[in-house]
Amino acid sequence: MSLARYLALVVVLLGFRVFAQPAPAFDKKGLDGSRYMLSSLSGKIVVLNFWFKDCGACRYERKALNSVVGRYQPVGDVVFIGFSLDDRDELKAFLRKNPFRYAVVPDAHDVALDYGVSGYPTHVIIGRDGEIAERWTGANDAFERLTAAIDTLREQGEPAPDASSSSAQVHADPGVTQDILISPERPMRGATVKIYYAPKATAMRQASEIQVIWKVQANGSSSQGVAPMRKRGDLLACELKIPEDAMRLSVRLLSRGEEVIEERVLSIFEASDE
């Protein structure tokens, strides 16, 4: 076993996430006859899923993974590849009854070994620079974790919102005024933040039409998720619990069609800062 393979395996077994590690190259033929080479995907975000058909956790997360593909397929800069341990004939029969929207590659034992995979399902996300940005094993919260990681990579290189402004307007339809209020204006660690949105367009006044994507940055770590909006009279509202070690909160409002409406970035304070 090469040193690179050994180190990758050790990292996985210890349960650590891998950052800034070059992704091992692969060159495999997919179930559809297409050739998948990492070297030809430079400049794209590449999302890998290691799985096999009799894996219960893999079956559990498949619906969520298909939803992730549906979300990013129109943008064209994210590629999804599912490396399976099963052979071609087994997979063809299985996928007829269990559709999987990733590009499926059969007989991928060698790729799993190169990536140090020891548990299933394992997710690996490769940035545009060809380095592993994130990886984990397990099926829990697959949609939330994948979309958070992909969105972070897609945002890299884009202008950051002006944190000194009370509101950074990212997008607004002509003639439509958007309004967002975050209370309190100086969020405290461990406290609950309330987000209110007052849409001026009638079509946007239903809670199902808006979602809040949040990101909390702490010392050396970050977490992301999606919060549902609820009707509060003429407003839409949601609440977020701020972790005790949080340093910054980013909030993004998206329309049902995944269009960015508005974005805020706020510093998180300790009670002693008041």
Whether 141 is in a domain gets the answer yes
Looking at the structure, do residues 8 and 133 belong to the same domain, yes or no? yes
pLDDT at residue 132 in the model: 95
Range of the domain at 258: 180-273
When pLDDT is cut at 50, 70 and 90, the band that residue 251 belongs to is confident
- Strand 192-197 relative to strand 235-241, pairing: antiparallel
From the list 187, 177, 182, 164, the residue with the least C-alpha distance to 242 is: 187
CA angle 205, 238, 171 (to 5 degrees): 55
CB-based contact 175:197 (threshold 8 Å): no
Looking at the structure, do residues 129 and 259 belong to the same domain, yes or no? no
Convert the pLDDT of each residue in 110-122 to its tens digit: 999 999 999 999 9
Looking at the structure, do residues 221 and 139 belong to the same domain, yes or no? no
Cα distances (angstroms) measured from residue 118 to each of 14, 62, 80, 151, 178: 11, 19, 20, 27, 48
Instruction: Residue 101: give its domain's CATH number.
Output: 3.40.30.10
Q: Which residues contact 254 (CB under 8 A, 6 or more apart)?
A: 210, 211, 212, 213, 260, 261
Structure tokens at 35: 């050739």
Stated pTM of the model: 0.54
Report the residue count for the chain. Answer: 274
pLDDT at residue 223 in the model: 78
CA 185 – CA 196 distance, rounded (Å)? 12
pLDDT at residue 113 in the model: 96
- Strand 122-126 relative to strand 45-51, pairing: antiparallel
Looking at the structure, do residues 109 and 36 belong to the same domain, yes or no? yes
Whether 163 is in a domain gets the answer no
- Strand 131-137 relative to strand 221-228, pairing: unpaired
Looking at the structure, do residues 146 and 225 belong to the same domain, yes or no? no
Burial of 142 (0-12, 13-18, 19+ CB in 10 A): buried
Looking at the structure, do residues 95 and 190 belong to the same domain, yes or no? no
Whether 174 is in a domain gets the answer no
CA dihedral sign of residues 180, 148, 207, 75: positive
When pLDDT is cut at 50, 70 and 90, the band that residue 205 belongs to is low
Q: Which residues contact 153 (CB under 8 A, 6 or more apart)?
A: 45, 125, 127, 128, 133
Q: Where does a domain end: 140, 155, 170?
A: 155
Convert the pLDDT of each residue in 15-60 to its tens digit: 444 445 899 999 999 998 999 999 999 899 999 999 999 999 999 9
| Distance spanning both ends of the chain, measured CA to CA | 57
Looking at the structure, do residues 52 and 188 belong to the same domain, yes or no? no
Whether 251 is in a domain gets the answer yes
How confident is the model over 201-210, as a mean pLDDT? 58
Number of domains in the chain: 2
Convert the pLDDT of each residue in 61-82 to its tens digit: 999 999 999 888 877 889 999 9
Looking at the structure, do residues 64 and 124 belong to the same domain, yes or no? yes
Q: Where does a domain end: 102, 120, 155?
A: 155
Whether 170 is in a domain gets the answer no
